[in-house]
């Protein structure tokens, strides 16, 4: 008789067919691809035995694009067509891109555009297209090593990437012909790798400092459950900023002011600055060699102690999010069991020293900091594709910033708070503001402040088809859904008719590093002001509602149930409330509303009694009791 094969949800119905899935760390400086082979996650090597692929793309006039090491070799010779650090530009505007001596590293097709496009000899190129070229090479490497076509990939992103940057990363993968199963936060991927290799349990801080991004996440590891308690960071801070400070120092050391606008020379300075930083990881001193115009050269000596002083501001900036992350998780430094160091920039000795001094805990460096993220992603890819049948793990990640909508008075109603575990769905009911209102505008916002003007706008859409009713009677349910990739969709549904409108939030560009940091800092500094502003806005809305409702009632029944003096008194009381509302004193507005309610009470009673008499006319009381 035939046997019926039963598979676990998500696993292949062909138990002997191994599906190919990989994890990709799309990095600012270098990128990697890893896979689980024979039960072990490992980084896949190119034909020359190298694990790293430099995240550099050179566009040539004949359309023959160079990627990786060949492109890296041409950074100085062809600076305007050789694109590096594209990850720092993805999902951002031109104005967000860091400069050296106020000089942009590339020429842009339209500097005011939401999606910057770099001018090259092969046409304008966006950071999405550059990233797609890198992903294509990694895909080909994986298919060559694994001897087959890929069924799916997991791509890692910084935990502090916002919705625009995540969407742009997925777009790059689609351009490269990849099936993206999950966008996985880099610190979480690192925790997965360490959790498997070390069998660790407890509370760990994942300090991830790459070439262009910084994340700090605090996770609890317990019996295969990886729960992110809090995350913080800066999506535009990393090793590149150290290189830039060293480059600034080099430019100050040489007496050639005219070279500060020479693109080719500036790219050379950035290259030698990075080389110096890497050399001082293993040596106490190094000599920087510069090629000046007309064949001249200049040597500059730099020691590790001096470099540490130069790059100290970058490292110190990473410690501020560490403090905030601990506070958000409700933990002290003593509650942390260990620190996992991730990212190539953590090789810098001063980084290790300052992080260890800050947390006063053991640093975990057992897995190569440049490979650990790709390895964790490979493990997750193997699970999602259905190959991993034992010891499956549960990943509980979080969102970095609160999400909400605009309400009356220019205030924000938060629907999903920051550090909420994803995937997550939250809903809240709202009501109509005016009589006969048939549409509602939904304004989606991101941030920690109370006022709309202090948060970032993500999307706007309208819900139409609301049945005309008395103000406050209509009910609209607004639902927020953040998926496992951290991407947001919002829907609004009218309760009576079931009319629904929804939108996948795709902002045109991402938050700048300053905006993210400022949002969180301001939410603390201005907490008291925000509360007062919200109270004032709510009282003003209450005043407007009271005036609007009374105006409607007077227009319909004023002459029927009020004498002239009563009518005049109510009009004067409404004017008084309007004057008090405009002055902005919360207590006086509340008092004026109460005064108006008391004065209009008899009028409301007469209207209600008349309505009851009209409803009961021609009926017996027993009919209503039945």
Q: What is the pLDDT of residue 17?
A: 55
User: What are the Cα distances from residue 339, in Å, to 305, 335, 345?
Assistant: 24, 11, 15
Q: What is the pLDDT of residue 9?
A: 42
Q: Exposed, middle or buried by CB within 10 Å (0-12, 13-18, 19+), for 364?
A: buried
Q: Which of 24, 50, 136, 53 is nearest to 379 (CA)?
A: 24
- Is 551 catalytic? The answer is no
Structure tokens at 409: 């008075």
The active-site residue out of 208, 448, 450, 454 is 208
Structure tokens at 2: 């035939």
Instruction: Report the chain (626 residues): mean pLDDT per 10 consecutive residues.
Output: 38 57 94 91 93 94 88 88 88 67 69 75 88 94 93 91 82 89 89 68 89 88 81 86 92 73 79 92 90 80 94 94 92 92 91 94 82 92 76 68 83 84 86 83 83 79 84 85 80 85 61 46 60 74 81 81 83 86 82 86 82 71 60
Q: Which of 304, 326, 154 is nearest to 242 (CA)?
A: 304
Question: What domains, with CATH codes, occur in the chain?
Answer: 17-194+370-391 (3.30.420.40), 239-312 (3.90.640.10), 399-511 (2.60.34.10), 528-616 (1.20.1270.10)
Q: What is the pLDDT of residue 392?
A: 56
pTM higher than 0.85:
no
- Those residues whose C-beta lies under 8 Å from the C-beta of residue 545, and which sit 6 or more positions away, are 433, 471
- Those residues whose C-beta lies under 8 Å from the C-beta of residue 335, and which sit 6 or more positions away, are 203
Reduced to 3 states (helix: H, G, I; strand: E, B; else coil), residue 51 is coil
The active-site residue out of 96, 162, 186, 494 is 186
Neighbouring C-beta atoms of residue 435, cutoff 10 Å: 14
- Is 186 catalytic? The answer is yes
Q: Exposed, middle or buried by CB within 10 Å (0-12, 13-18, 19+), for 582?
A: exposed
The active-site residue out of 25, 328, 397, 530 is 25
Reduced to 3 states (helix: H, G, I; strand: E, B; else coil), residue 94 is helix
Q: Which of 472, 521, 479 is nearest to 500 (CA)?
A: 479
Q: What is the pLDDT of residue 6?
A: 39
Largest CA distance in the chain: 110
> Half-sphere exposure of residue 600, counting CA atoms within 13 Å on the CB side?
24
| d(C-alpha 112, C-alpha 108), whole Å | 9
The active-site residue out of 78, 87, 133, 139 is 87
- Is 87 catalytic? The answer is yes
Reduced to 3 states (helix: H, G, I; strand: E, B; else coil), residue 47 is coil
Alpha helical stretches, state H, 365-458: 372-385
């Amino acid at each position: 008789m035939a046997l019926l094969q039963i598979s676990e949800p998500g696993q292949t119905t062909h138990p002997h067919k191994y599906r190919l899935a990989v994890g990709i760390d799309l990095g600012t400086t270098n990128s990697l691809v890893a896979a689980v082979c024979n039960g072990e996650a490992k980084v896949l090597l190119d034909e020359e035995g190298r694990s790293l692929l430099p995240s550099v793309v050179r566009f040539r006039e004949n359309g023959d694009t160079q990627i990786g090491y060949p492109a890296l070799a041409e950074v100085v010779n062809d600076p305007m067509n050789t694109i590096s650090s594209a990850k720092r530009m993805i999902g951002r505007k031109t104005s967000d891109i860091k400069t050296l001596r106020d000089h942009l590293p590339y020429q842009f097709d339209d500097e005011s555009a939401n999606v910057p496009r770099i001018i090259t000899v092969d046409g304008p190129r966006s950071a999405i297209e550059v990233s797609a070229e890198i992903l294509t090479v990694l895909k080909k490497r994986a298919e060559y090593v694994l001897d087959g076509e890929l069924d799916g990939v997991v791509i890692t992103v910084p935990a502090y990437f916002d919705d625009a940057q995540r969407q742009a990363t997925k777009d790059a993968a689609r351009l490269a012909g990849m099936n993206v199963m999950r966008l996985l936060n880099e610190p979480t991927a690192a925790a997965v790798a360490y959790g498997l290799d070390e069998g660790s349990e407890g509370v760990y801080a994942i300090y991830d400092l790459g070439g262009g991004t910084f994340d700090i996440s605090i996770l609890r590891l317990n019996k295969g459950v990886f729960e992110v308690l809090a995350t913080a960071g800066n999506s535009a801070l990393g090793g590149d900023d150290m290189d830039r400070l060293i480059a600034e120092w080099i430019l100050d050391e040489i007496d050639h002011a005219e070279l500060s606008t020479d693109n080719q020379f500036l790219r050379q300075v950035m290259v030698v600055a990075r080389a110096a930083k890497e050399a001082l990881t293993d040596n106490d001193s190094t000599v920087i060699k510069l090629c000046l115009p007309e064949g001249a050269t200049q040597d500059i000596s730099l020691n590790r102690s001096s470099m540490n002083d130069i790059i100290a501001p970058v490292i110190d900036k990473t410690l501020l999010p560490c403090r905030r992350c601990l506070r958000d998780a409700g933990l002290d430094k003593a509650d942390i069991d260990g620190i996992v160091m991730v990212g190539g920039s953590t090789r810098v000795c001063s980084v290790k020293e300052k992080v260890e001094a800050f947390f006063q805990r053991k640093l975990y460096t057992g897995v190569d900091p440049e490979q650990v993220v790709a390895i964790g992603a490979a493990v997750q890819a193997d699970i999602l594709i259905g190959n991993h049948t034992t010891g499956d793990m549960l990943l509980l990640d979080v969102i970095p910033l609160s999400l909400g909508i605009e309400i009356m008075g220019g205030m924000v109603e938060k629907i999903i708070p920051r550090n909420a575990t994803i995937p997550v769905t939250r809903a809240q009911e709202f009501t109509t503001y005016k009589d006969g209102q048939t549409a509602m505008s939904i304004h989606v916002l991101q941030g920690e402040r109370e006022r709309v003007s202090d948060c970032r706008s993500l999307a706007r859409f309208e819900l139409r088809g609301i049945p005309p009713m008395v103000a406050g009677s209509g009910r609209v349910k607004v639902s927020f859904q953040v998926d496992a990739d951290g991407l947001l969709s919002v829907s609004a549904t009218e309760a009576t008719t079931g009319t629904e409108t929804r939108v996948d939030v795709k902002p045109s560009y991402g938050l700048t590093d300053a905006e993210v940091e400022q949002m969180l800092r301001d939410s603390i500094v201005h907490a008291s002001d925000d509360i007062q502003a919200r109270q004032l806005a709510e009282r003003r809305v209450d005043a407007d509602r009271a005036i609007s409702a009374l105006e409607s009632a007077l227009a319909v029944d004023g002459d029927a149930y009020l004498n002239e003096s009563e009518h005049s008194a109510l009009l004067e009381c409404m004017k008084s409330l309007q004057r008090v509302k405009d002055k902005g004193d919360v207590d006086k507005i509340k008092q004026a509303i109460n005064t108006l309610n008391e004065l209009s009470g008899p009028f409301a009673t007469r209207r209600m009694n008349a309505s009851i008499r009209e409803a009961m006319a021609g009926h017996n009381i027993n009919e209503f009791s039945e």
